[in-house]
Structure 1
Amino acid sequence: MTTHRIYSTAFASVYPLYVAKAERKGGTKAEVDEIIAWLTGYSPVALADQLAKHTSFEDFLAQAPRMNPARSSITGVVCGVRVEHIEEPTMRDIRYLDKLIDELAKGRPMAKILRS
């Protein structure tokens, strides 16, 4: 089975796109970092380290200190696909992050984004 090319893409190449999307809509880099920390458990230092290493998206998620168990409460559509229906775990986690960034860009309060 072939894997999707996003798996081998460096997370460092996607991260600025997340930040740019958030900032375009009034969000901040700090909020993007908070979302990533909530989802993956990466501290600011560990996130910076992963970005500097140009870790692949797949490895970034596989090496996450603590994937948030509440991520399964994330629902909705990303790229025309319901995230809760994605069977492949890595792709589902990628789409969870996409969905959270979309919610930030739409102006949703951080408490709701982080399922607090």
Structure 2
Amino acid sequence: MRSANGKQRKIVGYMVQQERPHLGRFLLSPRPVQMSEHADGEADDLPAALVTVYLDASQSDWAVPYTRGLISLTGTIEVGRLEETDGRVSWVRMRITPEATRGMSPSELDRYFHSLQHKH
């Protein structure tokens, strides 16, 4: 990992399903994981090989909706200990460009909120 520090790399993984998304970032895991921050607190079962993905600074107020299945991301890797604003410590981060994500159209946003109401 240290040799990847500061370099552009591609990572494939699963977006961590969180109760409360954090603006401007999300977590990427090597396996599907659902966090229950309210119930579990800091006793979550997130894998050690977790990557905190940061959107571009111009998108720091965006909440990224949960995406099921494998996703592929390309961005700049950062390696080293960093205490996040929520108190979580990250060891690997990826910074992606603004082109890597985009805002949802009104119809996409409507479908997304509708899908949250009908989970089984």
Same fold (TM over 0.5): no
Which of these two proteins has the greater Rg computed from alpha carbons? Answer: 2
Instruction: Give the structure with the larger strand fraction.
Output: 2
Which has the larger share of helix? 1
Using the size of structure 2 for normalisation, the TM-score is 0.27
Q: Which has the higher contact order (CA 8 A, sep 6+)?
A: 1
TM-score, L = length of structure 1: 0.27
